[in-house]
C-alpha cells in the first residue's frame, strides 16, 4: 500500500518518527510531575537552591542545592546528579526531580548539583555525555576556591565528590566515571557513584531507540550502552552502588553491569541492591536495612516522660495492649479548674511507617507544645513499625489506641487523667506524614463503625502520606504485603447493538444516526464573531498527537483590567458523536459566555471508535492543563493570558460530558492543577452507570475498563471525597433514563465526606438533554447562571440573586451572656437603610459612653447587622469596651451596586450626628452617646467603608462629631490607584488588623505605609493575628486573637512602639523569608519584619494591684525615643523625694518594649515594692536600627532624665519627686548590656547632677570570641549567639566588640557607681558571662563592690514569665516597707532596701 505523507516510520517508548523526519515526543509518565519549577528556598528543610550556567554554547545549566550551614568552616561533600529522561524528555528542573535532589541534599547533608543536559532530538547523543562531563569539570574548577559559584567555593569539599543518576542518568554516570578514570579530574576526587535502575543494553526496543538517538553509534556493542571490560576496569572512583527493580525491564542489564564490573579487575567495591525505598533498602536475601534518620535528626532519640516546669505540662506513659504491644504517652496541661473537661488530641507520629517514635524527643516536644498551647489532653500513639510489624499493624494499633481512649467515656477507664479531665465528646485526631495517612484511616473507621461513648470533632492531616508518588507508593506496597493493588481486566469483543452504534462479526463498528432533532444541528461550523451578543470565538490547538483542540468564546470586554471567570465545557454525545464545533454546542456555549460573562473553552476530544475511551478523559484533561498553563500570563493563547481569571475556573458538561466533568474534578483533587483553582462543576444529565444497555456500551468503548464497578462510571467514595472543587450542581430530567444515576451521584457525594456543597436540580416532565435540542425552552433558563461567586452568591439569568451565606437573622434582644441590649431603628424606609444599636448595662442612667459606628463586611454583597456573626460580635465589643455601638445596615450589591453602600453609610452617619445636641430621634444616642469620642470600625468590605467615611468626614465635615480613631479589620482594599484625599482622614489614630493567612494581609500593611507618606499627621498601627485567616473573629469573637476595635484599649492612647516598615515588592511574596530567628522574629525578602514576641501593648494606667501610676512621655519625636514613667500613688504631696530607677528592657536588641505586658507589670512591681520612681526607656530596635542605635537612644534618654536635676525639666513627676542623688540603673539581657554600657559612659563622660548609686544586671547579654566553660559544651547554641550578635550589629568587629564583650572595653574601670549586682540563672547559656563580668570588675581599676546571685534550676529571663517570682528572689519582702536608705553592701539579695 502507498505510504501516507504522515506515515509513522519508527515508534519508540518515548517518541515516534514520521516519514518526513518529524519527531513527536510523548508526554512524561503520568506518575511523574514534569512541570518545571523555579529554584526556591525551602523553609521546611532549610535547603536553598539556585540555577547556574556551565556553558552557553552549548547551553548547559545546573541547579545547585545548599543544605543549612551550621558550621561555615566545615566543607560538605558534593553530589553531581544526572536525571533520567530517556535522553529526550525535558524533566531535569521538574517538580519531581527538584524534590528528589533537594531531599538528598537535606538528608545526606551534601551540596547537590543537578545537571540539565542537551536532549534528543534538539541535541542528539552524545550531547548528553558531553554536557554532563562539562558540568563535572565546571564543578572541579572550584577546587582552588576561585570558581564562578560562591556556594561551591565556600562550602564544597571537592575531595568528596559523588556522582549519581537514575535510568539514562545512571548510564551517563557510568560514562563520567570511565572518563574520570581515563582522563583524570584535576582538583577533585570522585569517591563513589550511585546508578539507579541504569539504562544499559539488553532490551531490544530500548537498544534500537538509543541507537536512533545516537547517529554515530557503534552498533549493539557500543561501550556506552554495553560497557567494555577495559572501561569498567578503570572506573575513577572507589565505590559503586547499583539499584535494580524486580519489575523493571532494566533489571537484568543493571545486574549484568555489577557482575561484569566485579570480573573486570577494577579495584573498588560494588554493591547491588534489589529494592531501594526512601526509608529502607532490601537485599537479595530479604534483609531489610532501615536508613538512619537525617543527620540533623538527633531528636530521634527516645526520652522518658517528665513534668515540664516551663509550661506546666505533665506527661506519662500508659499501656494500651501487650499483645500486640501498643502504648501511648499522655500529656496533661495545667488544670486550673478541676471541674472543667478538656478536649482530647490523639496524635500519630510520622516516619514513613518504619521509623520515629511517639517517645522521641522530637515528638515529645511537638505534642507537649500542642497540649500546652491548645489546652488539650494529648495522647501520642506508639504503634508498630515495619519491618518488625508490617502494615497494617500501624492502623490496627492506632485504632486500638483510639478505642482505648473512648473506653474512658464512663469515667471508669484505666487511666485517671482521662477519667477526671477528658471531654470525650471533643476528640481531635491528628498526625503528620504517615501519621496523617493513619489519621484518615481512623476517621474513616469512625464513620464506618462508630466510636461508642465518644465523638470525633475534627481531624488534622499534616503533609499526609497518600498515593501519587511512584517511589512512595511502591514502598508502601512493599511494607503492606496484603495490599489491594489491582490489574485491569479486558472484555472480550462481541457482536452487539448499542444505543449509538453496532458491532459486526469482523469487528467493524457502525455508528448510528444521532437523534433526529440533533441531526441538522450536528453539522460543524467555523468560529465567528456574533454581532448580536458581541461574543467572539476562535479555535486553538492543544495537542497535535493526539489531536486535541478547543473553541474559545470571549464575551465583550468592557474593562480590560478586569479578569473574567473561565468555563471549560465538555460536550455530550455518548462518547462517540457530536462536536464542540457543531452548531448546537457552538450556540450553547456562546450563549453561556454572553449571559454569564465568562470566557468559555469548549473541548473537542477524541471519539469512539477512532479513539476508544479513555481518550475522551485524557484529551479533556490535556485541555484543562493547557488552560492552566496560562496562569503566569505567558501561555500560548492571548485571550486567556489577558482576560482569564484562573482562580475562578468552572467545569461543566452534559451527558457524556457530565461524566467527563466528574473525572476532571476528581483528577484535580487527586493531582492538583498548578496555577488554577476550580471553584465549581456543573453536571447536566450526567452519563453514569446504572442503566444496563448504557453500561455495556461504555464498557465496549473502553477496552481497559474495570467492569461494572469502574469508578469512571460508578464513582468510588474515595474519588467523590476528594473532588477538587468547592461546589457541584447536578441537573436531572424526570423522563431521562439517566435520572436515577444522576440523583444517586448527588446522594453518594453527600455521604462521601467531601467538604463542598452539592445541589440537585430536577427538570420535571422533560427528557435527556432537552436544553441542547431546544435551547429556548423555558426550563433551560433554570440552570443558566449569569454570575457564580460561590461561596458568596449566585445570580441567575432571570435576575434572581441567591445569597449562599449571611442570610440568617437574629432579632434584637437583651443578650444574657453580655447583658448588652439591642434594638433596630429605621433611618430611611424608602431606601431600606437602618441600624442596629447596642448599649451595655449602665450603672449611671446619665452616663455618657464612647460611640462606635460599625460597618459590616461581606464583599458588599452579603451579611447584615442582624446576622448571627455580626450581632454576636457587636455584643462582645460593646460589653468589653463599655461603649454604645451603632451597626449600619446598607443596601448591598448586585441589586444596589457600589457606591450605594457608601451613600447609605453616609446617610446613617448624618443621622447619628443629628443626636449630638441631645435632640435626635433616638433616646439611647441622645442620653448616652459621647459625640466627642466617636470611633469608626469595620471588617473586610466594612473596613473599606469605614475608611471612606473617615475621608468624607475629613473632607466635608460632620458637625458635632469628633472622630477619635478608626479600626480597619482585614480591610478589603485592592488595585493601584491612590485616593488623593487620603491625607484628609478625619482622625488621629488608626488601627489596622490583619491576619497571617489572609490574601488581603499585605493590603493592610500597605495602607499603613500610604498613611505615613500621604501627609496625614496621625498615628497608625498594624496588629497581625498569627495562624488566622480572613475575618476569623466572626466565627469566634471571644478568641484571644480576635481583633476587638475597642477605643479605650487600642485607640485612646499613643503607642510609642515602632512597627517595622513595609514596602510592596512585586518581585517577592510576603511568605519568602530572608532571615528566620525563632522565637524572636522573621525578616521577609520584601523587607517586612515580623516580630514573634513582645508585640503586645498595654496602655499606661493606674494599676489597681500595686497602686502604681504610669504615663508615657516622648523624648525625641523625630527618632521615636520615649519612656514610660512609673510612680507610687502614695508619693504625694510633692515634697517627698524618691530614688530613681532607670530601666532598660531586654529582647536581644530586637524585640519587646516598655509597653509590653511583661515589662509594664515588672516595673509596676519594682516601683511598688522598692518605693522608687521608675523610668523604662523605649529605644529603637534592630534590625531596622542596628546596634549601637539602642545604646545611643538610651544615652539620649538619660540626658533627658538628667535635665530634671534642677526641677525645671519637662516632666513634673521627675521635677517634684526624683532624688537625683540616688539613681540606679537596671536591665535584663540586652537591657543589662545597655545598663553596663551607660554606667561606663557616665563614668567616662559624666552626667551633671546625677549620682549613680548602683547597677543591677539581670542575666546580662555579654559574649566573646573565646568560649567560657558552659559555652564550649553547648557549641550549637553558642554559634547562634555569635550569629544573633552579627545580625543585630552588622557593623561589629565581631564577638570581641567592646559593646558585647566588656572585657575588651578599656574604660570598664570607669564604671560610675559603687555597687553592682549581677543576677544569673543556673541553666542560662549566658550564666558564666555574668560571673566573668564580676571577675573583670574585680581585676579592673574600679573601686566598687560587685556581687553575683545565681538562681538554681532556672533559665534566661525566667522572671519575665512571673514577675512576683523575680522579686521574691531579688527584692525580698522584708525590705519592702523600708525607705530607700543605702546600698546594702553585705546582701547578695537586693540592691535597694
Marked catalytic residue, from 1229, 1236, 1295, 1340: 1229
Backbone angles phi, psi at 705, to 5 degrees: -70, 165
Query: Is residue 913 within 8 Å of 958, Cβ to Cβ?
Result: yes
How large is the average pLDDT for residues 991-1004?
Answer: 92
The whole-angstrom separation of Cα 403 and Cα 413 is 11
**Residue 471's pLDDT is what?**
59
State the burial class of residue 842 (Cβ atoms within 10 Å of its Cβ: 0-12, 13-18, 19+): middle
Decide which of 1 and 616 is more confident.
616
Cell of 208: 534500537
918 pLDDT higher than 60: yes
Query: Is residue 1298 within 8 Å of 1232, Cβ to Cβ?
Result: no
Q: What is the pLDDT confidence band of residue 1268, given thresholds at 50, 70 and 90? A: confident
User: In sequence order, which residues have a C-beta less than 8 Å from that of residue 1379 and are 6 or more positions away?
Assistant: 1171
288 pLDDT higher than 90: no
Decide which of 112 and 512 is more confident.
112
**Residue 1389's pLDDT is what?**
30
15 pLDDT higher than 80: yes
Query: Is residue 991 within 8 Å of 1021, Cβ to Cβ?
Result: yes
Helix 1363-1370 to helix 1157-1170 angle (10° resolution) is 40
The whole-angstrom separation of Cα 674 and Cα 624 is 11
Q: What is the pLDDT confidence band of residue 972, given thresholds at 50, 70 and 90? A: very high
Burial letters 1129-1161, b for 16+ CB under 10 A, else e: eebeeeeebbbbbbbbbbbbbbbbbbbbebbbb
Decide which of 251 and 97 is more confident.
97
**Residue 1064's pLDDT is what?**
27
Give the model confidence (pLDDT) of 635-650 as tens digits. Answer: 999 999 999 999 999 9
Give the model confidence (pLDDT) of 647-671 as tens digits. Answer: 999 999 999 999 999 999 999 999 9
The gap between the terminal CA atoms of the chain, to the nearest Å, is: 113
Q: What is the pLDDT confidence band of residue 1004, given thresholds at 50, 70 and 90? A: very high
- DSSP 8-state code for residue 984: G
Decide which of 457 and 519 is more confident.
457
Give the model confidence (pLDDT) of 812-871 as tens digits. Answer: 999 888 999 999 999 998 889 999 999 999 888 888 999 999 999 999 999 999 998 999
How large is the average pLDDT for residues 1331-1344?
Answer: 93
Give the model confidence (pLDDT) of 527-577 as tens digits. Answer: 999 998 999 999 999 998 899 999 999 999 988 989 999 999 999 999 988
**Residue 476's pLDDT is what?**
85
- Residue 85 a catalytic site member: no
Counting residues of the chain whose pLDDT is more than 90, the rounded percentage is 61
Cell of 617: 478523559
**Residue 548's pLDDT is what?**
95
- Residue 1324 a catalytic site member: yes
Beta strands 48-56 and 59-66 are antiparallel
The whole-angstrom separation of Cα 915 and Cα 31 is 69
Which range (203-207, 1129-1133, 1221-1225) has the least confidence? 1129-1133
User: In sequence order, which residues have a C-beta less than 8 Å from that of residue 1231 and are 6 or more positions away?
Assistant: 1143, 1144, 1145, 1146, 1147
Number of helical (H) and strand (E) elements in the chain, helices listed first: 34, 53
The whole-angstrom separation of Cα 1289 and Cα 1299 is 10
CA distances 1122 to 963, 1115, 1179, 1185, 1197, Å, are 26, 5, 7, 15, 8
How large is the average pLDDT for residues 1310-1328?
Answer: 94
Give the model confidence (pLDDT) of 229-256 as tens digits. Answer: 999 999 999 999 998 876 677 888 888 8
**Residue 1050's pLDDT is what?**
34
1293 pLDDT higher than 70: yes
**Residue 1048's pLDDT is what?**
37
- In 3D space, the residue among 76, 203, 220 whose CA is nearest the CA of residue 151 turns out to be 76
DSSP for 13-59 reads: SSEEEETTS-EEEPPPPTTS---B------TTT--EEEEEEEEETTE
Residue written as grid cell 506508639: 382
Query: Is residue 1055 within 8 Å of 1019, Cβ to Cβ?
Result: yes
Q: What is the pLDDT confidence band of residue 1069, given thresholds at 50, 70 and 90? A: very low
Marked catalytic residue, from 174, 630, 889, 1356: 1356
Please give the mean pLDDT across all residues of the chain: 86
Marked catalytic residue, from 96, 1324, 1340, 1359: 1324
| 919 torsion bin: left (phi>0), alpha (psi -120 to 50), beta (else) | alpha
Amino acid at each position: 500500500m502507498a505510504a501516507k505523507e504522515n506515515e509513522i516510520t519508527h515508534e519508540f517508548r518515548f517518541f515516534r518518527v514520521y516519514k518526513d523526519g518529524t519527531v513527536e515526543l510523548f508526554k512524561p509518565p503520568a506518575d511523574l510531575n514534569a512541570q518545571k519549577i523555579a529554584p526556591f528556598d525551602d523553609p521546611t528543610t532549610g535547603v536553598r537552591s539556585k540555577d547556574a550556567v556551565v556553558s552557553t554554547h552549548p547551553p548547559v545549566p545546573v541547579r545547585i542545592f545548599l543544605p543549612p550551614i551550621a558550621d561555615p568552616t566545615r566543607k560538605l561533600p558534593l553530589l553531581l546528579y544526572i536525571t533520567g529522561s530517556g535522553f529526550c524528555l525535558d524533566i531535569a528542573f521538574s517538580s519531581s526531580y527538584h524534590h528528589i535532589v533537594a531531599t538528598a541534599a537535606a538528608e545526606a547533608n551534601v551540596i547537590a548539583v543537578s545537571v540539565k543536559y542537551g536532549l534528543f532530538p534538539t541535541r542528539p547523543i552524545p550531547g548528553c555525555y558531553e554536557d554532563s562531563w562539562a558540568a563535572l569539570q565546571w564543578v572541579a574548577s572550584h577546587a582552588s576556591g576561585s570558581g564562578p559559584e560562591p556556594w561551591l567555593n565556600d562550602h564544597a569539599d571537592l575531595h568528596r565528590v559523588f556522582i549519581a543518576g537514575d535510568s539514562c542518568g545512571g548510564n551517563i554516570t557510568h560514562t563520567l566515571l570511565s572518563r574520570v578514570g581515563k582522563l583524570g579530574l584535576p582538583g577533585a576526587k570522585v569517591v563513589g557513584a550511585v546508578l539507579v535502575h541504569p539504562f544499559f543494553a539488553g532490551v531490544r526496543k530500548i537498544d534500537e531507540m538509543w541507537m536512533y538517538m545516537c547517529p554515530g553509534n557503534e552498533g549493539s556493542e557500543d561501550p556506552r550502552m554495553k560497557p567494555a571490560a577495559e572501561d569498567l576496569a578503570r572506573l575513577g572512583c572507589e565505590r559503586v552502588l547499583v539499584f535494580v527493580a524486580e519489575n523493571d525491564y532494566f533489571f537484568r542489564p543493571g545486574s549484568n553491569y555489577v557482575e561484569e564490573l566485579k570480573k573486570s579487575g577494577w579495584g573498588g567495591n560494588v554493591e547491588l541492591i534489589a529494592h531501594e525505598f526512601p526509608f529502607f533498602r532490601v537485599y537479595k536475601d530479604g534483609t531489610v536495612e532501615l536508613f538512619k534518620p537525617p543527620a540533623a535528626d538527633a531528636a530521634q532519640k527516645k526520652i522518658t516522660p517528665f513534668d515540664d516546669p516551663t509550661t506546666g505540662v505533665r506527661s506519662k506513659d500508659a499501656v494500651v495492649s501487650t499483645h500486640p504491644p501498643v502504648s501511648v504517652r499522655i500529656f496533661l496541661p495545667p488544670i486550673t479548674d478541676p471541674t472543667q473537661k478538656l478536649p482530647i488530641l490523639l496524635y500519630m507520629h510520622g516516619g514513613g511507617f518504619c521509623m520515629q517514635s511517639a517517645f522521641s524527643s522530637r515528638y515529645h516536644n511537638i505534642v507537649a507544645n500542642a497540649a500546652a498551647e491548645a489546652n488539650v489532653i494529648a495522647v501520642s500513639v506508639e504503634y508498630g513499625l515495619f519491618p518488625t510489624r508490617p502494615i497494617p499493624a500501624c492502623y490496627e494499633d492506632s485504632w486500638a489506641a483510639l478505642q482505648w481512649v473512648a473506653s474512658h467515656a464512663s469515667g471508669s477507664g484505666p487511666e485517671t487523667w482521662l477519667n477526671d479531665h477528658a471531654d470525650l465528646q471533643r476528640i481531635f485526631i491528628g498526625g503528620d506524614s504517615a501519621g496523617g495517612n493513619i489519621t484518615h484511616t481512623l476517621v474513616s473507621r469512625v464513620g464506618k463503625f462508630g466510636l461508642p461513648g465518644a465523638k470525633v470533632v475534627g481531624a488534622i492531616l499534616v503533609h499526609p502520606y497518600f498515593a501519587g508518588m511512584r517511589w512512595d507508593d511502591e514502598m508502601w506496597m512493599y511494607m503492606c504485603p496484603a495490599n489491594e493493588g489491582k490489574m485491569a481486566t479486558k472484555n472480550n469483543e462481541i457482536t452487539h447493538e448499542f444505543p449509538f452504534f453496532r458491532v459486526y462479526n469482523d469487528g467493524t463498528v457502525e455508528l448510528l444516526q444521532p437523534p433526529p432533532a440533533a441531526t441538522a444541528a450536528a453539522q460543524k461550523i467555523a468560529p465567528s464573531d456574533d454581532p448580536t451578543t458581541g461574543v467572539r470565538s476562535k479555535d486553538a490547538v492543544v495537542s497535535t498527537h493526539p489531536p486535541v483542540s478547543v473553541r474559545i468564546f470571549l464575551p465583550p470586554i468592557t474593562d480590560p483590567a478586569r479578569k473574567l471567570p473561565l468555563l471549560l465545557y465538555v460536550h455530550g454525545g455518548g462518547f462517540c458523536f457530536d462536536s464542540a464545533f457543531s452548531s448546537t454546542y457552538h450556540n450553547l456555549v456562546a450563549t453561556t459566555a454572553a449571559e454569564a460573562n465568562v470566557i468559555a473553552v469548549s473541548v473537542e476530544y477524541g471519539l469512539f471508535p477512532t479513539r476508544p475511551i479513555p481518550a475522551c478523559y485524557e484529551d479533556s484533561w490535556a485541555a484543562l492543563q493547557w488552560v492552566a498553563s496560562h496562569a503566569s500570563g505567558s501561555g500560548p493563547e492571548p485571550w486567556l493570558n489577558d482576560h482569564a481569571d484562573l482562580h475562578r475556573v468552572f467545569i461543566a458538561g452534559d451527558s457524556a460530558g457530565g461524566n467527563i466533568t466528574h473525572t476532571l474534578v476528581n483528577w484535580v483533587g487527586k493531582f492538583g492543577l498548578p496555577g488554577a483553582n476550580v471553584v465549581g462543576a456543573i453536571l447536566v444529565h450526567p452519563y453514569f452507570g446504572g442503566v444496563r444497555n448504557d453500561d455495556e456500551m461504555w464498557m465496549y468503548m473502553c477496552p481497559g475498563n474495570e467492569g461494572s464497578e469502574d469508578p469512571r462510571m460508578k464513582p468510588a467514595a474515595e474519588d467523590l471525597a476528594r473532588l477538587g472543587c468547592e461546589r457541584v450542581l447536578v441537573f436531572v430530567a424526570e423522563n431521562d433514563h439517566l435520572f436515577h444515576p444522576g440523583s444517586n451521584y448527588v446522594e453518594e457525594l453527600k455521604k462521601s465526606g467531601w467538604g463542598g456543597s452539592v445541589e440537585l436540580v430536577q427538570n420535571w416532565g422533560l427528557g435527556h438533554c432537552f436544553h441542547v435540542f431546544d435551547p429556548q425552552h423555558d426550563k433551560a433558563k433554570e440552570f443558566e447562571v449569569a454570575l457564580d461567586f460561590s461561596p458568596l452568591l449566585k445570580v441567575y439569568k432571570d435576575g434572581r440573586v441567591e445569597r449562599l451565606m449571611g442570610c440568617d437573622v437574629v432579632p434584637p434582644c437583651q443578650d444574657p451572656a453580655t447583658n448588652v441590649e439591642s434594638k433596630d431603628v429605621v433611618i430611611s424606609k424608602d431606601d431600606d437603610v437602618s441600624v442596629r444599636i447596642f448599649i451595655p448595662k449602665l450603672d449611671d442612667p446619665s452616663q455618657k459612653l464612647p460611640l462606635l459606628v460599625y460597618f459590616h463586611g461581606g464583599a458588599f454583597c452579603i451579611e447584615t447587622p442582624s446576622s448571627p456573626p455580626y450581632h454576636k460580635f457587636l455584643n462582645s465589643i460593646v460589653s468589653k469596651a463599655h461603649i454604645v455601638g451603632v451597626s449600619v445596615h446598607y443596601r448591598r450589591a448586585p441589586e444596589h451596586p457600589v457606591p450605594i453602600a457608601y451613600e447609605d453609610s453616609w446617610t446613617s452617619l448624618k443621622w447619628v450626628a443629628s443626636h449630638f445636641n441631645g435632640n435626635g430621634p433616638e433616646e439611647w444616642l441622645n442620653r448616652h452617646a459621647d459625640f466627642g469620642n466617636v470611633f469608626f470600625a469595620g471588617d473586610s468590605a466594612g473596613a473599606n467603608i469605614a475608611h471612606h467615611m473617615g475621608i468624607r468626614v475629613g473632607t466635608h465635615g460632620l458637625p458635632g462629631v469628633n472622630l477619635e480613631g478608626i479600626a480597619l479589620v482585614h480591610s478589603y482594599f485592592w488595585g493601584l490607584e491612590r485616593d488623593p484625599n487620603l491625607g484628609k482622614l478625619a482622625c488621629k489614630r488608626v488601627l489596622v488588623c490583619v491576619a497571617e493567612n489572609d490574601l488581603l494581609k499585605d493590603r493592610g500593611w500597605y495602607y499603613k505605609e500610604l498613611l505615613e507618606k500621604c501627609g496625614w499627621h496621625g498615628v497608625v498601627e498594624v496588629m497581625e493575628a498569627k495562624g488566622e485567616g480572613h475575618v476569623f473573629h466572626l466565627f469566634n469573637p471571644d478568641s484571644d486573637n480576635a481583633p476587638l476595635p475597642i477605643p479605650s484599649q487600642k485607640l485612646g492612647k499613643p503607642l510609642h512602639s515602632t512597627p517595622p516598615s513595609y514596602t510592596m515588592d512585586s518581585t517577592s511574596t510576603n511568605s519568602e523569608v530572608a532571615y528566620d530567628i525563632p522565637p524572636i522574629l522573621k525578616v521577609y525578602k520584601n523587607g517586612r519584619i515580623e516580630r514573634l514576641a513582645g508585640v503586645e501593648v498595654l496602655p499606661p494606667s493606674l494599676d489597681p494591684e500595686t497602686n502604681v501610676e504610669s504615663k508615657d512621655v516622648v523624648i525625641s519625636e523625630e527618632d521615636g525615643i520615649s519612656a514610660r514613667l512609673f510612680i507610687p500613688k502614695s508619693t504625694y504631696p510633692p515634697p517627698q523625694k524618691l530614688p530613681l530607677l532607670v530601666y532598660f528592657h531586654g529582647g536581644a536588641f530586637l524585640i519587646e518594649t516598655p509597653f509590653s505586658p511583661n515589662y509594664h507589670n515588672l516595673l509596676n512591681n519594682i516601683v511598688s515594692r522598692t518605693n522608687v520612681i521608675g523610668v523604662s526607656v523605649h529605644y529603637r530596635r534592630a534590625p531596622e536600627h542596628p546596634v549601637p542605635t539602642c545604646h545611643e537612644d538610651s544615652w539620649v534618654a538619660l540626658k533627658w532624665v538628667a535635665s530634671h536635676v534642677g526641677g525645671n525639666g519637662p516632666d513634673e513627676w521627675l521635677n517634684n519627686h526624683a532624688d537625683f542623688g540616688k539613681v540606679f540603673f537596671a536591665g535584663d539581657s540586652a537591657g543589662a548590656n545597655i545598663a553596663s554600657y551607660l554606667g561606663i559612659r557616665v563614668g567616662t563622660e559624666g552626667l551633671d547632677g546625677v549620682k549613680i548609686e548602683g547597677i543591677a544586671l539581670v542575666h546580662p547579654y555579654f559574649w566573646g570570641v573565646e568560649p567560657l566553660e558552659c559555652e564550649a559544651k553547648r557549641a550549637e547554641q553558642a554559634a547562634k549567639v555569635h550569629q544573633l550578635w552579627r545580625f543585630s550589629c552588622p557593623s561589629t568587629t565581631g564577638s570581641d566588640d567592646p559593646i558585647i564583650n566588656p572585657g575588651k572595653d578599656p574604660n570598664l574601670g570607669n564604671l560610675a557607681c559603687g555597687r553592682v549586682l549581677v543576677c544569673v540563672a543556673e541553666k542560662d547559656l549566658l550564666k558564666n558571662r555574668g560571673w566573668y563580668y564580676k571577675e573583670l570588675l574585680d581585676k579592673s581599676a574600679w573601686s566598687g563592690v560587685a556581687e553575683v546571685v545565681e538562681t538554681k534550676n532556672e533559665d534566661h529571663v525566667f522572671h519575665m514569665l512571673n514577675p512576683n517570682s523575680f522579686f521574691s528572689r531579688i527584692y525580698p519582702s522584708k525590705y519592702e516597707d523600708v525607705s530607700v536608705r543605702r546600698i546594702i553592701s553585705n546582701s547578695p539579695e537586693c540592691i535597694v532596701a
